[in-house]
Amino acid sequence: MPTPMIEVNHLNKVYGSTQALGDVSFQAEAGEILGLLGPNGAGKTTTMRILSGYLPASRGTAAIDGFEVHQDPMAVRQRIGYLPESPPLYPEMSVAQYLNFVAEIKGVSAGDRPQQVKKALLSCGLEDKAKTLIRKLSKGYRQRVGIAQAIVHDPPAIILDEPTVGLDPRQIIEVRKLIQQLAGERTVILSTHILPEVSMTCNRVVIINRGNVVATGSLDELMTQLAGGYRYELEVRGEKTQIEAVLSSILSQEATTLAWGDPLNKDLDLTNLYRLHLTLPGSEDLGATISRRLIEAGLDLYEMRRNRDNLEDVFLKLTTQEDITPEARPAPVPSPDPAAPDSDTPAPTNP
Ligand SMILES: Nc1ncnc2c1ncn2[C@@H]1O[C@H](COP(=O)(O)OP(=O)(O)OP(=O)(O)O)[C@@H](O)[C@H]1O
């Protein structure tokens, strides 16, 4: 098994009396775009700051390309680019001056700098803006400059904190496209609090809530694992025993719930009209089979409604429940580790 490009194990972070992270673990493979999805305050920024070496963890480890962030900060900084939520841009510098300045701080040699700056400008679609002062750029272009400063030393991994927040719809599309272009040769982790960002940009997602990972996987995997089965609401007219016989010939009894409503005869002047609720396991949609078999058996199907949780429902369930599983329950707040200061002041070597 190759070493994952990014590996996070049991990260915990306490700020004073606030536990920002309980127990966060995940991996990102080389070349993938991993989304860190969670509501405000979930712990995304804290995780990213620890990963990029800006903030010490209280417990746990994080490694980039095999180098542990706390033990080998210089090796990690060479291998990672970080776009904070508000990138530290210098408005009076031109784009090229700024990128040159960042490259110098990040240890790119004077000989390599012009080429590295040019490469970052090209990768981020900024070649026409090289001489433009940063203060004259639109928000979308400033975000490109933020991404360019993250890649100017050519790191194999980049970490982007809410990269499309505050951009207009056109700029959002352009920045998403740019992120997709950057992946492939790089591993990208991006944080977001909105699901569409993940579904449009990422290969995989780590859902984080109240400082704990509550789900990990591709969106298809999460749908299969967490959306539950289809629910059907039927109105069928016929003998109850016959309806049951037809349904049981289709459905596996042990895993299906069937609830009978009251007969609906009164208002409609119809005998033997029933409302039924069916909940199926798995992800198979048996709607067409159910309706066909009922009709083939001579029963009257007055109504059929079919429903299933979508990804938005899954995300909301995962991030609004008090506790998801006992494992996901936040650990008790330990006493602060004196070796791990609470300061989130950026390291002096970065602009
Ligand atoms: N410097 C700090 N001091 C004290 N508490 C903090 C500090 N930074 C973050 N927190 C708290 O830690 C928790 C996680 O915050 P964090 O910023 O990591 O979440 P987030 O998922 O990035 O949210 P957002 O999208 O709102 O930035 C929150 O409860 C937050 O209030």
How do the pLDDT tens digits run along the chain, 351 residues long? 667 899 999 999 999 999 999 999 999 998 899 999 999 999 999 999 999 988 999 999 999 999 999 999 989 999 999 999 888 888 999 999 999 999 999 999 999 999 999 999 999 999 999 999 999 999 899 999 999 999 999 999 999 999 998 888 888 998 999 999 888 789 999 999 988 889 888 989 999 999 999 999 998 888 877 887 888 999 999 998 999 889 888 877 555 677 777 666 655 566 788 888 888 877 788 899 999 999 999 999 999 999 988 888 888 888 886 544 444 444 433 434 434 444 333 333 333
Radius of gyration of the chain (CA): 27
Residue to probe by mutation, ligand 1, list 11, 18, 160, most atoms within 8 Å of CB: 18
Amino acid at 213: V
Quick one: CA torsion of 168, 169, 171, 177, rounded to 10 degrees? 150
Nearest CA to ligand 1 atom 5: 15
Distance 138 CA to ligand 1 centre (A): 28
Q: Please state, in angstroms and rounded to a whole number, the distance separating the CA atoms of residues 25 and 29.
A: 14
Distance 84 CA to ligand 1 centre (A): 13
Nearest CA to ligand 1 atom 24: 40
- Report phi then psi at 336, rounded to 5: -55, 140
Which DSSP category does 307 fall into?
Answer: E
Which DSSP category does 127 fall into?
Answer: G
Tokens of 104: 């110098």
Residues of the chain with CATH 3.40.50.300: 6-225+314-320
pTM for this predicted structure: 0.77
Q: Could you give the angle at the alpha carbon of 222 between the alpha carbons of 220 and 226, nearest 5°?
A: 130
> Which of 3.30.70.260, 3.10.290.10, 1.10.3720.10, 2.60.40.1180 would CATH assign to domain 229-307?
3.30.70.260
Residue listed under structure tokens 């409302």: 275
Nearest CA to ligand 1 atom 31: 41
Nearest CA to ligand 1 atom 28: 41
Ligand 1 pocket by C-beta < 6 Å: which residues?
15, 18, 20, 38, 40-46, 193, 344
Nearest CA to ligand 1 atom 26: 40
Residues of the chain with CATH 3.30.70.260: 229-307
Listed residue (29, 111, 188, 261) closest to 100, CA to CA: 111
Q: CB neighbours (10 Å) of residue 79?
A: 21
Which DSSP category does 184 fall into?
Answer: T
Distance 260 CA to ligand 1 centre (A): 48
Quick one: CA torsion of 317, 322, 328, 329, rounded to 10 degrees? 180
Per the CB < 8 A criterion, the answer to whether 13 and 50 are in contact is: yes
Q: Could you give the angle at the alpha carbon of 150 between the alpha carbons of 146 and 154, nearest 5°?
A: 145
- Report phi then psi at 288, rounded to 5: -65, -40
Per the CB < 8 A criterion, the answer to whether 97 and 91 are in contact is: no
Task: Specify the ligand 1 atom closest to the Cα of 45.
Answer: 22
Residue to probe by mutation, ligand 1, list 11, 14, 15, most atoms within 8 Å of CB: 15
Distance 18 CA to ligand 1 centre (A): 9
Kind of pairing between the strands at 187-192 and 18-28: unpaired
Q: Is 114 helix (H, G, I), strand (E, B) or coil?
A: helix
Kind of pairing between the strands at 204-209 and 212-217: antiparallel
Task: Specify the ligand 1 atom closest to the Cα of 162.
Answer: 25
Highest CATH level, class, for 6-225+314-320: alpha beta
